[in-house]
C-alpha cells in the first residue's frame, strides 16, 4: 500500500517543551554489530517496545524487518519482510546516519476505491549503527478532528464576516445620510436586521459548543411531549402567520420523554423554523407523535421544496445549507440541524429525515420514552 508523506522532520530533544516527543524515548543501545554478525534483537529491547502504546518494527539499514509487533502488521508496511514505503525507508536511513530520532506522517489510502484513508505517524529511533526501531501510531482521528476544527474556524469567520461587513457599511450610510431622516430610518432598520442575524449566529455557536462539550447523556425528569410541542409551536407561530402557514398538531397524550426540556424545545423549534423557511406560503406544517419500540417519535412534516438525496447526506453538518440564497433571505445560520443532531444524541436518540424534491420533508426526533406517571 503506497503512502503519501505529509509532514516529516527530526525530533528535537533539546526543545523548550518540557515533555519530549515520544520518538525521543531512550531505547537501549544495542552492541555494535560487525558486518558478518547475525542481526538479532535482545529480549529487553523487545520488552520495552511491547510496553509502549504503539505498534513497532525493528529494521536493518538494508530495510529488512528483523521483528515486529502484531499491531504493526495491520499497517502493511512490511508485508514481504522488507520495508517497502520509500518515505519510511528515508526515515530509517536518516535515523541510522544521524543517530537521531526522526518522524514522518503518512496517509495510507484505502485498498478499494472510496475507502477511507488512514493516517499514521512513524517515529524512528536508532538502536545502533545498523539497526532502527520504528514506532507507529494511528492518528486518523486526531487528523480528522484537526481538519474539522480548521474548517469550523473558516466557516465561522465567513459567517461572521457577512453581518459585520454589512453593519460597517450601514453605519457609514447612516453617517452620510445625516440630513435625510427617512433614509436614516431605513438604514437603521437594516442594521437591526443584521444585528439580529449576528446575535442568532453567536447564540447558535454558543449552544452548539455547549452541546458538544457535554460528555454524558442528559438526565432529567419525565416531560410530557405535549408540553414540548406546545412551547415550540408557540415560539414560531408568529413567523408562520406572516407566511400564512397553518400548523396541524396531533395528539400527544400519555407520551413522555426524559431529559432537558429547554434543549428538547430548542430541537423541535429548529425543525419547525426550517419547515416554515422552506415551505411556500399558504401551506401546512404538521406535528405528529407516536410511541414505537420504546422510543417517542415526534415528526414535523412540511409541504416544502424537499431535499435531494445528495443534500440529505449532509444536512446535519455545521453551516451546510440546501439553499444558501433562501437561508440568507431568512437569516438562517446553517447550525440549526447540527444543534438538533447533538441534542438528540445527548438524549440517547437520533433525528431521521425523509424527503423528496418537490414533495416536502419529514424530520423525526426519536427519543427514548419515559414511563407514564
Q: What is the pTM of this model?
A: 0.54
Q: Which tens digits make up the pLDDT trace of 2-39?
A: 444 444 444 444 444 444 444 445 565 655 544 445 56
Q: Sketch out the chain's domains with CATH numbers.
A: 3-138 (3.30.450.20), 141-213 (1.10.287.130), 216-373 (3.30.565.10)
Q: Is the model's pLDDT at 216 over the cut of 50? A: no
Residues facing 104 on adjacent strands = 8, 122
Instruction: Give residue 55's Cα distance to chain centre.
Output: 27
Residue 128: how many other CB atoms lie within 10 Å: 16
Q: Which contiguous run of DSSP H or E holds residue 285?
A: strand 284-292
Q: Which residues contact 289 (CB under 8 A, 6 or more apart)?
A: 225, 229, 250, 251, 252, 255, 296, 297, 298, 299
Q: What pLDDT is attached to residue 37?
A: 52
Q: What pLDDT is attached to residue 329?
A: 52
Q: What pLDDT is attached to residue 1?
A: 44
Alpha helices (H) in 99-180, listed in sequence order: 140-176
Instruction: Check residue 322 and report its DSSP letter.
Output: S
Amino acid at each position: 500500500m503506497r503512502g503519501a508523506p505529509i509532514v516529516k522532520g527530526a525530533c528535537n530533544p533539546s526543545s523548550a517543551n518540557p515533555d519530549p516527543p515520544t520518538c525521543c524515548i531512550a531505547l537501549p543501545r544495542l552492541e555494535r554489530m560487525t558486518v558478518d554478525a547475525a542481526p538479532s534483537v535482545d529480549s529487553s529491547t523487545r520488552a520495552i517496545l511491547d510496553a509502549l502504546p504503539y505498534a513497532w518494527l525493528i529494521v536493518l539499514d538494508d530495510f529488512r524487518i528483523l521483528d515486529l509487533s502484531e499491531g504493526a502488521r495491520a499497517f502493511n508496511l512490511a508485508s514481504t519482510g522488507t520495508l517497502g514505503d520509500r518515505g519510511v525507508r528515508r526515515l530509517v536511513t536518516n535515523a541510522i546516519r544521524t543517530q537521531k530520532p526522526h518522524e514522518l506522517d503518512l496517509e495510507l489510502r484505502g485498498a478499494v476505491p472510496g475507502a477511507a484513508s488512514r493516517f499514521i505517524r512513524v517515529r524512528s529511533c536508532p538502536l545502533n549503527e545498523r539497526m532502527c526501531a520504528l514506532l507507529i501510531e494511528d492518528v486518523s482521528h486526531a487528523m480528522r478532528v484537526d481538519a474539522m476544527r480548521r474548517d469550523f474556524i473558516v466557516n465561522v469567520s465567513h459567517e461572521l464576516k457577512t453581518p459585520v461587513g454589512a453593519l460597517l457599511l450601514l453605519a457609514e450610510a447612516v453617517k452620510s445620510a445625516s440630513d435625510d431622516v427617512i433614509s436614516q430610518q431605513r438604514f437603521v432598520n437594516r442594521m437591526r436586521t443584521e444585528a439580529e442575524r449576528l446575535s442568532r449566529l453567536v447564540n447558535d455557536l454558543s449552544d452548539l459548543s455547549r452541546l458538544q462539550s457535554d460528555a454524558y447523556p442528559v438526565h432529567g425528569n419525565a416531560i410530557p411531549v405535549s408540553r414540548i410541542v406546545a412551547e415550540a409551536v408557540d415560539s414560531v407561530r408568529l413567523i408562520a402567520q406572516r407566511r400564512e402557514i397553518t400548523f396541524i398538531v396531533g395528539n400527544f397524550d400519555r407520551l413522555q420523554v426524559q431529559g432537558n426540556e429547554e434543549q428538547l424545545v430548542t430541537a423541535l423549534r429548529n425543525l419547525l423554523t426550517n419547515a416554515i423557511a422552506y415551505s411556500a406560503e399558504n401551506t401546512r406544517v404538521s406535528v405528529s407523535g407516536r410511541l414505537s419500540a420504546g422510543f417517542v417519535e415526534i415528526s414535523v412534516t412540511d409541504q416544502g421544496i424537499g431535499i435531494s438525496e445528495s443534500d440529505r447526506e449532509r444536512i446535519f453538518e455545521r453551516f451546510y445549507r440546501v439553499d444558501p440564497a433562501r437561508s440568507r433571505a431568512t437569516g438562517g445560520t446553517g447550525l440549526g440541524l447540527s444543534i438538533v443532531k447533538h441534542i438528540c444524541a445527548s438524549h440517547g436518540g437520533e433525528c431521521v429525515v425523509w424527503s423528496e424534491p418537490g414533495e416536502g420533508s419529514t424530520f423525526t426526533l426519536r427519543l427514548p420514552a419515559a414511563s407514564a406517571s
